[in-house]
Amino acid sequence: ETGVTQTPRHLVMGMTNKKSLKCEQHLGHNAMYWYKQSAKKPLELMFVYNFKEQTENNSVPSRFSPECPNSSHLFLHLHTLQPEDSALYLCASASGGAMEQFFGPGTRLTVL
Amino acid sequence: DQQVKQNSPSLSVQEGRISILNCDYTNSMFDYFLWYKKYPAEGPTFLISISSIKDKNEDGRFTVFLNKSAKHLSLHIVPSQPGDSAVYFCAASERSNYQLIWGAGTKLIIKP
């Protein structure tokens, strides 16, 4: 595997379910990001991790819970989501000191 | 209020002609700007960037122009090719915090 991978690619869940999104980067980067992209809207930064430490949480509801066990893996744990949380969730990574972020293909999430 | 705006949701250009995508920003502290391209079912891929100390950066068929006084940047693609059909996102950042602020994207359609 190369670059940034995300699983699953598609996820349909009910509002009472608990699920997790997984991201893995094979680029040797030390920063990882979670973004939410809703239709025709800008990408919204959710969480930032640098060297496994969370450095940003942009007022994201607690029903989204990130986890970064090491600098190659990033998870987003989901529970009791709302239909308006349906969106494309993108993971990205970057090298320390670099502005360019490298993205995974995203997980298309639908909350029923 | 959006700090980065792409006012054209879509743009249609004839193959072989020049495509010009525009982006405006409001935050005068932004000092680094990036363009990304996104195909359906894929994550955004980095295209080209420019620092605020420059007013032009060129990479093959892609040129980004920065007008700091107008808080405006543009991406020129010449000649346009069918494979350029995608959504293009503009992003801006202050180098000090490594966070990207995104526009909503412009869908570019290259007509054969």
- For the stretch B14-44, pLDDT in tens is 999 999 999 999 999 999 999 999 998 889 9
Distance from CA of A88 to the nearest CA of B (A): 10
> What are φ and ψ of residue A105, in 5° steps?
-75, -15
d(CA B52, CA A84): 37
Per-residue pLDDT at A74: 96
* A94 neighbourhood in chain B, CB within 8 Å: 98
Per-residue pLDDT at B106: 97
Which of B42, B91, B95 faces A105 most closely, judged by CB atoms?
Answer: B42
Query: Do A107 and A8 meet the contact criterion of CB atoms below 8 Å apart?
Result: yes
Q: What is the pLDDT of residues A70-84, one digit of tens each?
A: 989 999 999 999 999
* B103 neighbourhood in chain A, CB within 8 Å: 42
User: For residue A57, what is the enclosing H or E element?
Assistant: strand A53-57
| Structure-model confidence comparison of residues B110 and A16, the more confident one | B110
Residue A53: pLDDT band by 50, 70, 90 thresholds? Answer: confident
* Cβ separation B44–A43 shorter than 8 A: yes
* Cβ separation B43–A40 shorter than 8 A: no
- Whether A19 has a pLDDT exceeding 90, the answer reads yes
Per-residue pLDDT at A50: 84
Computed over every residue of chain A, the mean pLDDT equals: 91
Instruction: Name residues 34-73 of chain A within 8 A of B (Cβ).
Output: 40-43, 45, 48, 56
Q: Cα–Cα distances in Å, from B78 out to A97, A103, B9, B82?
A: 31, 26, 20, 12
* Cβ separation A42–B4 shorter than 8 A: yes
Q: What is the pLDDT of residues A5-15, one digit of tens each?
A: 999 999 999 88
Per-residue pLDDT at B99: 84
Residue B2: pLDDT band by 50, 70, 90 thresholds? Answer: confident
**A74-106: string of b/e by CB count within 10 Å (b at 16+)?**
bbbebeebeeebbbbbbbbbbeeeebbbbbbbb
Residue A1: pLDDT band by 50, 70, 90 thresholds? Answer: low
* Cβ separation B46–A102 shorter than 8 A: yes
